[in-house]
Structure 1
Amino acid sequence: MGVLICKICACFYLSNCSCHQDLDMRFGFELCSQEMTFLRKRKRYVASALKNVFHLQQDLQDFEVPVVAIITTGGGLKSMTGLYGSLMGLKKLNLLDCVSYISGLSGTTWTMANLYRDAYWSQKDLDSHIGEAQKQATKCKMGCFSMDRMKYYDKQLCQRKEEGYRTSFIDLWGLMIEYLLNDGKDPHKLSEQQEALCDGQNPLPIYVSVSVRDSYSTNDFKEWVEFTPYEVGLLKYGAFVRTEHFGSEFFMGRLLKKLPESRICYLQGDVLHYLGREPLWRGFFSPPLDEDPVLPTRPHELRTRMYTPPGPLSSALRGALTDRFSVAQHHNFLKGYQLHNNYLENEHFCRWKDTVLDSRPNELMQNADHLGMIDAGFFINTSSPPLLRPQREVDVIIYLTFWVLYKAYKYYSEQKIPFPKISLTDEDKKNLKECYLFHDSDLPGCPIVIFLPLVNDTFREYKAPGVKRCCSEMEGGQLDLTSRFSPYCMFSVRYTDENYRRLLNLSEYNILNNSQMIMQALQIAIGLYRQRHRLGHFCICFVP
């Protein structure tokens, strides 16, 4: 019977039928029960914070409380440091408790992972967290390549392989990230962050990745994957597994082999630039690592060569040099399923239908043993897709980024996902301002977007909102964020203390200096909720 079942594939489409209730994974586009419970608890914090910020005489009713999300983009140490500064600014404005979600990728996940070790981080002063981050950002990184560290990497990769994981360069890079951001081994796991959500005391963190296939470019095939402390899931299929089960072996929705949950450093490894399908150094090394040269042969002889099985460390290094090295491999929790034709008619599936295989269900999910995961920054560098799921009903987005939103806006327009039109003047395109508000009131379900690009504008002359710099302080406002010689370039792994503090202060200043626009967006959202509530009562009174 065991031999037969492994050859059976189940066709499925989204429904609420009872056949899904006894599976070890969840099918459905609705939010999981844990997240819904969290949102009910979080609403108390948001309502109280809004009452204090706007000096309201009465408590907000549940229907008046908007859902606010912070969306970030990647960028190594720059995005990590920038997010700390932005959160510090929101904390000083008493607006951090108004936020229900924070989404991140690449460098901003480093900030999030560090903060969520503390179960009550947003209820405390952030100085200790920021100080620790500064210590790690400014320390010498050369020890990352010491012989002792290499032995440690090899031991950790061997252990991971023995646990049942498929190791790659991404796992090696994750271990390096662990060293770059910590004094020692970081034992934390993503599911442990549930402790930071138990009372709704912090925003819910969402980490974003993209699933790809080896035989397709990222533009041709990519599927959004979200990671929360509760679940990991593919947005397009509405298929989710418990976070502690991600990476374990599944078949037809059943958990066949439980693997130990990955340490969070292995989920942080996807930070390198994507260089396409072609190997990075193919042709530069001959023979390939771990192999002897091919021996000369006669026409009637077989080609022979000696092969030495590589260890996990050398395999990871070889993958970095000869493969699509930025792909992490995880057991495919959808193994055993084939898509039913009716599945393609599901409105939620169509929302994320954007690959070359989306019209061919038999090829879309072909029982691949592993899911290939890459950094979402390799596509449009945004962590916003999970926050645009209609089930999350996000009203206000605080969008923290280094780039203009055109790519994201164009993508959502093509997908027919409600998102306000991003319109900038020619002057703005040349010199971005610190803050923009985009709102399309005629588009149902469209969030209000506060766009806060990381730019150095009025900070050059002001050290705080309304407080001009004196002559001796002008140097503190000089930050080169964009040139090729900038200390904040993508690949910088070490800042000076001065560079770290300047970037931190700039990020905080841009939030503080544009507080009125952020609060304007919150007021609009509250007003829209009240208006809809009044219209609902009107309809109830007059519809027979």
Structure 2
Amino acid sequence: MTGRTEEYKKKFWKDFAKDLEDAKEITPEAEKDTISLVSGICNTATVIKNIAVCLAEWKWGTTNNFLYKWKSNIPLSSKKHISLVDAGLDINIAFPLMLPPHRNIDLILSFDFSEGDPFETLRKTAKQFPFPKITIEDKDVKIPSKSCYVFEGDGDGIPDVMYFPLFNNQTSEGKVDEMREKYATIHISYDESQVKELLEVSKNNVEKNYTQIREKIKQCVQRHNLKRTREAAAYGVMNTGGAMEEKNKDN
């Protein structure tokens, strides 16, 4: 209390002593309330501290891994604990879950419902995982001109991707900015009519490309079957009438 007068210091300590005396006479109810308040403050401090640690170590939702030591050929089985994170904090779409090599994915149909750059999730994924090359014309970056964009993989670890931006000039012509504003992320709830409108827009995106989707699926199936046939041939096995038979090595 540097700079305070002597009178102020005497009054301060006198009031402090009185407060200590009064504290001895706290009723059980008041004591209970005080303990509850202190407990709440401590719990809040613990939560803040745990969040700070998670932020520093970039760990989220640490939980026991139910696959731990189940099977050796499952990548996650070697980890006793796993950390879960909201996809919205990174790529904002579940591409990483589909891209491990053991999944053998041939085709991904991806429907975009995020705010902002509609192609951001594609570019982020392409930087981190085996993914098709993402080439978008400058005019489409702001407002997509098509309801479906097809990005070709290589059929050998990199899948084909059919990408459907929700709002585009093919199914929401002239209303893209209006629809984006109406359904911005900041709006946390929609009424029934709005939900129906969104579903209708999404449905139109699929209907517009129904034939293209079917053709792409057929193409991927044919490519996959050809790949399997080549692999079988390499291992001395051939496909006859749907059954796999070992080649006669003497021939």
| Root mean square deviation of aligned Cα | 4.4
The equivalent residue for 2:148 is 435
The equivalent residue for 1:512 is 207
> How far did residue 429 of structure 1 move?
2.2
Computing the radius of gyration from Cα coordinates, the structure with the larger value is 2
Distance in 2 (CA, whole Å) between partners of 1:322 and 1:379 is 21
* Equivalent residue runs for 1:287-306 within 5 Å: none
> How far did residue 492 of structure 1 move?
1.7
Distance 1:511 1:315, change over 3 A: farther
The equivalent residue for 1:424 is 136
2:222 corresponds to 1:527: yes
Judge conservation of contact 2:107–2:220 (CA < 8 Å) in 1. Answer: yes
> How far did residue 505 of structure 1 move?
0.7
The equivalent residue for 1:492 is 187
> How far did residue 513 of structure 1 move?
0.5
The equivalent residue for 1:380 is 91
Distance in 2 (CA, whole Å) between partners of 1:529 and 1:506 is 32
Distance in 2 (CA, whole Å) between partners of 1:450 and 1:430 is 19
Partner-residue secondary structure (3-state), 2:39: coil
Between the two proteins, the alignment pairs up a number of residues equal to: 190
* Equivalent residue runs for 1:309-324 within 5 Å: 309-310=39-40, 315=43, 319=47, 323-324=51-52
Q: Which runs of 5+ in 1 are unaligned?
A: 1-295, 297-305, 338-346, 353-364, 413-417, 462-473
Partner-residue secondary structure (3-state), 1:399: strand
Partner-residue secondary structure (3-state), 1:498: helix
Partner-residue secondary structure (3-state), 1:452: strand
2:178 paired residue among 467, 480, 495: 480
Distance 1:331 1:409, change over 3 A: closer
Once the two structures are superposed, residues 295-339 of structure 1 have per-residue CA deviations (whole angstroms, 9 ceiling, x without a partner) of x9xxxxxxxxx981129xx946994799559986554459xx9xx
Partner-residue secondary structure (3-state), 1:459: coil
Once the two structures are superposed, residues 244-271 of structure 1 have per-residue CA deviations (whole angstroms, 9 ceiling, x without a partner) of xxxxxxxxxxxxxxxxxxxxxxxxxxxx
The equivalent residue for 2:123 is 406
* Equivalent residue runs for 1:89-488 within 5 Å: 308-310=38-40, 315=43, 319=47, 323-324=51-52, 329-333=61-65, 373-401=84-112, 402=114, 403-404=118-119, 405-412=122-129, 418-432=130-144, 433-441=146-154, 444-460=156-172, 480-482=178-180, 486-488=181-183
Once the two structures are superposed, residues 424-458 of structure 1 have per-residue CA deviations (whole angstroms, 9 ceiling, x without a partner) of 222222332211111133x6222111111212322
Once the two structures are superposed, residues 402-423 of structure 1 have per-residue CA deviations (whole angstroms, 9 ceiling, x without a partner) of 33110111111xxxxx321111
Distance in 1 (CA, whole Å) between partners of 2:44 and 2:83 is 15
Distance in 1 (CA, whole Å) between partners of 2:107 and 2:207 is 18
Once the two structures are superposed, residues 262-281 of structure 1 have per-residue CA deviations (whole angstroms, 9 ceiling, x without a partner) of xxxxxxxxxxxxxxxxxxxx
Judge conservation of contact 1:487–1:495 (CA < 8 Å) in 2. Answer: no
Judge conservation of contact 2:167–2:176 (CA < 8 Å) in 1. Answer: no
> How far did residue 531 of structure 1 move?
2.1
Partner-residue secondary structure (3-state), 2:202: helix
Once the two structures are superposed, residues 469-498 of structure 1 have per-residue CA deviations (whole angstroms, 9 ceiling, x without a partner) of xxxxx9xx677343xxx2312232222333
Partner-residue secondary structure (3-state), 1:457: coil
> Structure 2-normalised TM-score?
0.59
Letter in 2 for 1:408: T
The answer to which structure has the higher helix fraction is 2
Once the two structures are superposed, residues 2-52 of structure 1 have per-residue CA deviations (whole angstroms, 9 ceiling, x without a partner) of xxxxxxxxxxxxxxxxxxxxxxxxxxxxxxxxxxxxxxxxxxxxxxxxxxx
Distance in 1 (CA, whole Å) between partners of 2:176 and 2:105 is 36
> Structure 1-normalised TM-score?
0.29
The equivalent residue for 2:25 is none
Partner-residue secondary structure (3-state), 2:38: coil
Once the two structures are superposed, residues 276-298 of structure 1 have per-residue CA deviations (whole angstroms, 9 ceiling, x without a partner) of xxxxxxxxxxxxxxxxxxxx9xx
Which structure has more relative contact order (CA 8 Å, sep 6+)? It is 1
Letter in 2 for 1:308: V
